[in-house]
Amino acid sequence: MVELAGTIKVISKLLRDFLVAEEYAYREGFLQGVDQKVKLMAILLLIVLAVSTQNIFFLLLLFLFSLTMVLLSKVSLRMYLPRFGFIPIFALIIVLPWIFLMPGQPALTFIGLNVTKPGIMYVITFTLRVTACVSCVSLLLFTTRVSDLLHTLKSLKIPSPLVDMFGLVYRYLFTFLSELERMLLGRECRVVSDQGLLKNWRDGGNVVGNFLSRTFYRSENVYKAMRARGYDGSFKTYPRNDKIGKKSIVFMALVGIMVGIWLVTRL
């Protein structure tokens, strides 16, 4: 039991830490001061650029650009990198076989298989592209409050039920995770011996069942608390920055330069 519980706890903690990136959204950094719409559109543009290039230099540059923005936004790289690092690593593992599968000129031979040059190029570009994209998206998540994001999405005419659904799921997620952790903590305090595997799995089933009924009960109460404060099915939020200020203009200019470089690499 202890092991299973331990695993769930680690996952839940990771998720929660990821979600809590929100704390950074309140710092008085560079991107936090950029208008939400400008930021959203610019970052989407950067992602489009990343997806539509084969140029390793550009992808590297884009990644460095995003790291610079992170630093300017008063988020430390030590906090930033581990949060999304697992995604590019995962991507690398998935595309790695292509170093053999891609037809082309062999670069070297490895246990009887040919590693091709196009294969290597493909794997590097793919991983770099994923890294750059994920980094740009994280940039957005780290410097924007979720409620601002919802507000912006709505003002961009994304269908409101969709946005509200996202808002609801996002809020419930916290409740679920905290409930899960609390329950496991409660168990841990009482479980003393390390039981056999069978008992372990049976307990696992109990935990899941118990968890579901508890979260159901909790979510009902959370819903009550929402209604108590006037929630009527659609989240309303206060927008934060209404004016397009200096920071927004500087950011647009920087993104403009990136677009310029992208164009040059296309020539």
Partner 1 sequence: MARDKVIEAKNLKYRYPDGTVGIEKVDFELWSGEKVAIIGPNGSGKSTLLEILGGLIEPTEGYVKFFGKESIDKYELRRRVGIMLQNPDDVLFNPTVREDLEFGPAQLQMEKEEFNKILEGISQLLDLKLYLNKPPFRLSKGEKQKAALGSVLALKPEVLLLDEPFSAVDIGAKQSMIKYLNRLNEDGVTIVVTAHDLTTVPLLADRVYLLNKRLIAEGSTRDTLTNAELLKNNGLEVPPLVELGLRLGINLVPLTVDEAVRRLRERFCL
Footprint on this chain of partner 1 (rule: CB under 8 A) = 16, 19-20, 22-23, 26, 145-147, 170-172, 174-175, 178, 218, 221-222, 224-232, 235-238
Q: Which among 70, 98, 92 is positioned nearest to 83, based on CA atoms?
A: 70
DSSP string, 145-185: -HHHHHHHHHHTT--HHHHHHHHHHHHHHHHHHHHHHHHHH
Min separation Cβ 239 and partner 1, Å: 8
Min separation Cβ 230 and partner 1, Å: 3
Min separation Cβ 213 and partner 1, Å: 11
DSSP string, 51-64: HT---HHHHHHHHH
Residue 213 in tokens: 């009924």
Min separation Cβ 223 and partner 1, Å: 9
Min separation Cβ 237 and partner 1, Å: 5
Residue with smaller CB distance to partner 1, 202 or 227: 227
The answer to whether 45 and 227 are in contact (CB under 8 A) is: no
* Other residues' Cβ atoms within 10 Å of the Cβ of residue 142: 25
Q: How far apart are CA 267 and CA 262, in angstroms?
A: 9
Min separation Cβ 148 and partner 1, Å: 10
Residue with smaller CB distance to partner 1, 155 or 178: 178
Q: How far apart are CA 190 and CA 251, in angstroms?
A: 54
* Apex 143 CA angle, 29 and 18, nearest 5: 130
Residue with smaller CB distance to partner 1, 54 or 221: 221
Residue with smaller CB distance to partner 1, 193 or 242: 242
Residue with smaller CB distance to partner 1, 178 or 195: 178
Q: How far apart are CA 241 and CA 43, in angstroms?
A: 17
Residue with smaller CB distance to partner 1, 44 or 173: 173
